[in-house]
Amino acid sequence: ETGVTQSPTHLIKTRGQQVTLRCSSQSGHNTVSWYQQALGQGPQFIFQYYREEENGRGNFPPRFSGLQFPNYSSELNVNALELDDSALYLCASSTPGPTNTGELFFGEGSRLTVL
C-alpha cells in the first residue's frame, strides 16, 4: 500500500512569487485535504477536494487554490506569496462517506520558506 507522497520536500521563494505543491494520495483514497502548519502551531485546514471539486474550505484567502486530478492526486497553488505563508504544508488523504469521521492519512509535508 502506497502512502501519501508530497513534492517538493523543501523550497524557497521570494515575496510576490507563486508556488505549486503536489500530492499523491494513499492508494484507494479519493479525497485530499490540505493543511498549513506554521512554526510552533497546529495544522490549519485550507481546503478539501473530492471528485475533482473543492468540497470544504477553511479561512484562507482566494490566492490559495487547488486542483484534484482524475487519479486523485492534487495540487496546492499559492499566488502572491507573503512572508506569513512560510510554513509546512501537509497533504492528507481519506475516503469519504459515513464511515469517515475525519481520520486522515498525512504525507510528510512540503516546507515552504518565503523570503
Partner 1 sequence: AQSVTQLGSHVSVSEGALVLLRCNYSSSVPPYLFWYVQYPNQGLQLLLKYTSAATLVKGINGFEAEFKKSETSFHLTKPSAHMSDAAEYFCAVSREDSGAGSYQLTFGKGTKLSVIP
Question: Looking at 11, 20, 50, 86, which residue binds partner 1 (CB under 8 A)?
Answer: 50
Of 15 and 51, nearer to partner 1 (C-beta) is 51
Determine contact, residues 106/90, Cβ cutoff 8 Å: yes
Round to whole Å and give the CA distance between 73 and 4.
10
Residue 44 CA neighbour count, 13 Å, CB half: 11
Question: Looking at 48, 68, 74, 93, which residue binds partner 1 (CB under 8 A)?
Answer: 48
Round to whole Å and give the CA distance between 66 and 48.
9
Should residue 62 be labelled a site residue for partner 1 when binding is judged by CB under 8 A?
no
Residues of this chain that interact with partner 1 (CB under 8 A) are 4, 31, 33, 35, 40-45, 48, 50, 55-58, 90, 92, 94, 96, 100-109
